[in-house]
Structures are given as C-alpha cells and as structure tokens.
Copies of this chain bind each other. A is one copy, B any other.
Amino acid sequence: MNREYIYTEIADGIASQIRNGVLKAGDRLPSVRMMCQEHQVSMNTAKRVFLELESQSLIESKPQSGYFVSRIMSVKLPLPEVSRPSLIANNDEPDELISRVYENMGKKGITFFSIGVPSGDLLPQAKLKKEIINATRELKEGGTEYEELQGNLKLRRMIAVRSLQWGGNLNEHDLVTTNGGMNALSFCLMALGKPGDTIAIESPCYPGILQLANGFGLNVLELPTHPTTGIEIEALKKVIPQINLCLLIPNFNSPLGSCMPDENKKEIVQLLSENNIPLIEDDVYGDLYFGAIRPKCCKSFDKDGNVLYCSSISKTLAPGYRVGWIAPGKYKSKIMKLKLLHSTSSISIVNEAVANFLKSGRYEKHLQQMRRAVQNNYQNYVQTIADYFPEGTKTSRPQGGLSLWVEFDKKIRTTELYDLAIKQNISIAPGRMFSLQDQFENCMRLCMGLPWTEETQLCLQKVGHLAKKI
C-alpha cells in the first residue's frame, strides 16, 4: 500500500461503517490522537482522514468537542419492497416508452437523469485525449488495419491484471474484446440462446437486456429481487427446471444498485453449473463501489467455465469509446466466431489508448475520485428527495454504481411524470421500462453520474415538485 494514500483507506473504512449504520448520526468519532494510535499513522495522516470525511459531508466537527457523524447521512428513506413479478414469462415490451426516452439521447440542453452513464466532467478527458493521440501516432499503420481477432493484447493483459482485484485470476487468453458492454451481452445471448429458450433475470432489469432477450425470441422470466442483496436465490432455485440461461448484474445492478453477497454469488454459480445453465454476468458497475473493498464477481467462483463475464469502461472512463470485453469461459470459440461475423475487428485506436491508460496506473486514482463524486451525489440526491419529493417516497440504498431507484406512492405514474419533466428539459427513466410486465409504474431510475451543480439540484427539486402535482 502506498503510504501516500493510506488516509483514503482509513477514511473509506469509516465511511463504509457510517453508511452501513454501524456508526450512526451524532455518534462521536475517535480523537485525532486515538486515530494515530489505532492505525499507527502520523498526526497529519489522521487529520487528513477527518478532512476527507468532512469533505464528503459524512462527519462534522463541533468546536471543543471533536468529530461527529453528520446528520446528513441520517437521512434514510424507506427501502422499496422485494419485487414480486409474475413468474410467467411475459413479453409486453414497453417499446414505445423506451424509444421516447432514448430518442433525445445526445441532445443538448436536457438534464439526463435517465441515461446511465457518467457525465463528461467525471472523466479524465485530457489524459484520454493524449492516449488517443499517442495511440494514433504509434500504432502500426496508424490503426487503419484490423486488429487480432481476439482483441488488443495489451488491453487484454491489463484487464487480466485488474481481475485479481475481484478474485478473477484471468489471463489474456481468457478474454475477447467487444465494442462496449451491450455488444458483449448481445454476443453472449446470441451464442447461447435459441428462440423459445427461457432466460432468468433480475426484476427490475436494465431495459437493454429485456429488449435484447426479447429480440432474440427468448422467454424472459423476471425473478424477485431484493433492493440491497439482489436476486432471491430461493426463487431462482424453483425455476431451474424451466430455464436455459441466466443473466445477472450482481454488483450495483441497474436500476436497484443492489449488490449480491459473496455467498449468494457462490451458491448461484454452483447451482447453475450443476444444472448446466450458462450464467452471463454483467459487471460494468463493479469498480464503482462506495465501500472499502471491490466486491467479488460470480466469475470469481467459476470452476468449469460456465460463467461468461462481461464488462466495459463505459461507466468509468469513456462511454463513447465503446470498449468492452467478455471472459467467455468454455464458450470462447462461439464468442470468437460471432465477433468475426458481426464486428470483424474491434477499433484499434480506442482499444490501444485504453490499454495504455490502464497501463499508466492512472485508472485507480481516477476511480477513487469518481467513486467519491458519485457517492456525494448519492447523499445529495437522497437529501433532495427527502426535502422536495412527496411524502412516502422510497429509495434504494445502492452500495455503488450509478443508479438510484425511486418508488413513489402507487398513484404517481412515472410515465406521466416523464411527460411533465421532459417539457422542462429534464429526462427521467420511468419504472415501467424495467420490466416486460405491468409493474413499477410508480417507480423511476435516476442516474447519479451527473455533476452536482446548482442546476442539477434545481432539476431534481423540479422533479419532486412535479411529482407532488400528479
């Protein structure tokens, strides 16, 4: 551990205890002196820990008395219930609604709480620019030629190195690059699903997954999902005989932000493997943890190559680069064939640039900053919702990722709220988008990847104001 960053490690640990409720609002923290003894650090380091926590609004100092857990984090809104979707496969795709929400993508002047990507302000744009320019200059043939089919070797190596953080232990031969994360999921479904097959997923579920599965003619079985611990294992067990495939976002899933406990991951991997049901794992949010540790992945528990691990840099570095990958386990040759057919090659320049950025070691530092920014957003969002949204509004309690799930009183329909908000150039993602059944009509997903400005705050207040009028 670099001594320079030890203060962030200590601060993260305390922050995590505050968020988990181990430390409660008003609790007194140890003194600076005690902190020095406890962690064997200098006075300066101990002071930086407190400054760090204060900058995140997690603690506040009282003159002559020391530091206390801040009131702000005591704002905890009620948690939505575990979802209870119908256990019959449905395919009532909210096609028109999704088109309506996405047709504005990329337009200027709209505040997008609806699109699940980090805003440009949170990204290391200047450094990435330099990497693109260097890659263009240094790549053989200036990147005009096809890459190796499996993808940029340097990038695959860097991804393999990073996999150690989540207990992955991958090597470069295990990985195939793709044009972003959706492209990775699309290849997995294409490789493993036949029309008429049944796929088990979380509920609510990211709309792109619903549409992909529906588009390939799969029956979609939405399973009860807990807002903090993810898909319910008992529910999954019951439907094992019916399903051919399973797709999960175990870490900080969109839209709930839930994170499956390690033991659940392990149990599910084993269950699916025993029944020869491939597990597609989407880990695009895994690096955006608010706690002290990077959560493990289902792939960490994969013994026989039955897990297809998918991820990308779209949520943490550059959505517009479309750099993603699959560790397809025993399905590698199928995935390689699909890549050759549908993409031929990844785009050399962006893949080389990302590889070099990862290699430079800057990614970790960037992630630290970004995690802190998103976490601050989370606190600010919840505070604003508590202050300006209708009474009884519930929110999920994401432990990472970019999504906050909001549940209103039953009478508030978020499709209606969408129509009102978009007139004021605010875009939200209505809950109905996240299911193929009639559920979540009183819910919405908010993206926490926006910069927390007066404008953002005002827009969020407006959403609350509009909701009150419905």
Tell me the A residues contacting B by CB distance below 8 Å.
95, 99, 102-103, 105-107, 115, 117, 120, 123, 125-126, 128-129, 132-133, 136-137, 140-149, 179-180, 182-183, 186, 190, 195, 208, 211-212, 215, 217, 314, 317-322, 337-338, 340-350
Contact = CB atoms under 8 A, between A and B. Distances in A.
A322 B342 contact: no
B125 A129 contact: no
A343 B142 contact: no
Contacts of A136: 129, 132-133, 136
A182 B321 contact: no
Contacts of A350: 347, 349-350
B106 A146 contact: yes
Given A120-B144, A132-B136, A322-B347, 16 more contacts: A123-B141, A129-B142, A136-B136, A143-B321, A144-B319, A179-B322, A180-B345, A182-B341, A182-B344, A186-B342, A208-B340, A215-B338, A320-B348, A320-B349, A321-B349, A349-B350
Contact of A125 (B99, B123, B144, B344): B144
Contacts of A120: 140-142, 144-145
Contacts of A322: 179, 343-347
B106 A320 contact: no
Nearest to A195: B195
Copies in the complex: 2
A112 B316 CA distance: 38
A25 B343 CA distance: 45
A319 B146 contact: yes
Contact of A144 (B95, B141, B318): B318
The 8 closest A-B pairs by CB, nearest first: A120-B141, A144-B318, A106-B148, A125-B142, A132-B136, A320-B348, A129-B142, A186-B342
**Secondary structure class of chain A's binding surface, majority of residues:** helix
A170 B389 CA distance: 48
A338 B179 CA distance: 14
A103 B340 CA distance: 10
Nearest to A150: B106
17 contacts: A105-B148, A106-B147, A120-B140, A128-B142, A132-B143, A133-B136, A133-B137, A147-B320, A180-B344, A180-B345, A195-B217, A208-B344, A211-B341, A320-B348, A320-B349, A322-B344, A350-B350
A143 B319 CA distance: 9
A141 B345 contact: no
A230 B223 CA distance: 53
Contact of A347 (B146, B320, B341): B320
Nearest to A129: B142
Contacts of A190: 215
A322 B351 CA distance: 13
- In the complex, which of the residues A147, A208, A347 has the most CB atoms of chain B within 10 Å of its own CB atom? A347
A125 B102 CA distance: 36
- In the complex, which of the residues A107, A340, A346 has the most CB atoms of chain B within 10 Å of its own CB atom? A340
B337 A99 contact: yes
Contacts of A347: 179, 320-322, 347, 350
A252 to B, nearest CB: 19
B149 A103 contact: yes
Contacts of A142: 120, 125-126, 128-129, 132
A140 B141 CA distance: 26
